Amino acid sequence: MGTRRIAAIAALVGWAGLALQLALIVGSLGPPLGMWRFVGYFTILANIGAALVATAIALGSGRRLASARARLIAATSIALVGIVYSVSLRALWHPTGLQKVADVALHDASPLLFLAVWTLSPHPRLRWREIGWAMLPAAVYLAYALARGLADGWYAYWFLNPADQSAGELAASAGVVLCGFALVATVLVALDQWLGRTAESAG
């Protein structure tokens, strides 16, 4: 029940942050462009995924959404949101007011809360091949973001913008993103195995 309560808090924070960010971007750009830009950010998509998984855990339903694999995929993605934002993006702008609230909710609170949920959830000692599943959102997003950019010239992140980088630098940026996902997923799978063994020993 403790895990479900924390999952409920994580879900509420995630959905509230998403709703606030959507309202802000639609208010600034209008509904059509605002909605299109909203779903262009990996931060938004990762938070939607984490909120869905947290909601399923809180409600005690949705076997697939609350499965160990789904939890790993969501935890890897949302952890990278916090890490990449802090390392590469936080210093580039200084939001205030409601935008600051949305920023903290989506980049700080949501990752920390979901990782707490992941830590407290059951750990079936995942196999190493699950790392590939955890990297799938990164690969799909890279293709999606580049395709969007080619279509309308807008890129959510500077490190994915071909206008700001050579082909080699762009490939290196994509490689760094994939390696980051692989590293975080590896750490989480290793922790899952350790937490699973610890629980079995305690049992």
pTM for the model stands at 0.94
Crossing angle of helices 110-120 and 68-84, in 10° steps, is 150
How does residue 61 score in pLDDT terms, banded at 50, 70 and 90?
confident
How does residue 1 score in pLDDT terms, banded at 50, 70 and 90?
low
One-letter amino acid for residue 198 of the chain: T
Using CA atoms, how far apart are residues 202 and 193, in angstroms rounded to an integer? 14
Whether residue 192 contacts residue 126, with contact meaning beta carbons closer than 8 Å, is answered with: yes
For residue 14, is pLDDT > 70?
A: yes
How does residue 203 score in pLDDT terms, banded at 50, 70 and 90?
low
Mean pLDDT of the chain: 94
Q: Which residues contact 144 (CB under 8 A, 6 or more apart)?
A: none
Look up tokens 């890279």; give the residue: 142
* Closest C-alpha among 123, 111, 23, 11 to residue 60: 11
pLDDT at 91: 82
- At residue 104, φ and ψ (nearest 5 deg) are -65, -40
Using CA atoms, how far apart are residues 145 and 39, in angstroms rounded to an integer? 10
